[in-house]
Amino acid sequence: NAGAFIEGSKQMPPGRVLKLAVVDALYLAGERKRVTFLGYLEEDAAFVVTDASGGVLSKHPIFETRKEEENEVDEDESPQVTFWAKGPLAGAGGGSSIHDDDVLVVDRVPFHFGSSAPFRVEIETEDMSDPESYEFDPFSGYHLEKLGQEE
């Protein structure tokens, strides 16, 4: 029983791993004075920070305790991650965007060393009834809110 507790403590929730990857991407963009990109590798169940040419600068796996001989995570285990750009708001009150969500889906999110646009990430795992949705403002490096739930 204690062994299961120790093994479980080595795995962070996907949302926390995402937050660490966002901070890392922001830091690396500032340190290198070049654009960095945050993406997700489903086959490794890992958030990756890359440079403009696709070179991996850092990798943030969701499952830290995988066996070394396993190169890939089982498709059923790997969380489904979707990135959305935040569209410009429309209307007198600055309501929702005029763009549909399917147009705003991106494979990776850019981080510039001076400024970046806000974005949204949705993480869905097989044991979740509803996906978790996070909104970020990378210019300040802060997680704005976990959508749909009070924190």
pLDDT of residue 104: 79
Residue by residue, pLDDT tens for the chain (151 residues) are 444 444 555 678 899 999 999 989 989 999 999 999 999 999 999 999 999 999 999 999 998 755 444 555 556 678 999 998 876 666 566 666 666 666 678 899 999 887 778 898 999 988 777 889 998 876 655 555 555 554 4
| The pair of three-digit structure tokens given for residue 23, joined into one six-digit string | 């901070």
Count of CB atoms situated within 10 Å of the CB of 130: 9
Length of the chain: 151
Decide: 36 and 19 in contact? Cβ < 8 Å.
no
What pTM was estimated for this model as a whole?
Answer: 0.75
Full set of structural domains in the chain with CATH: 2-147 (3.55.40)
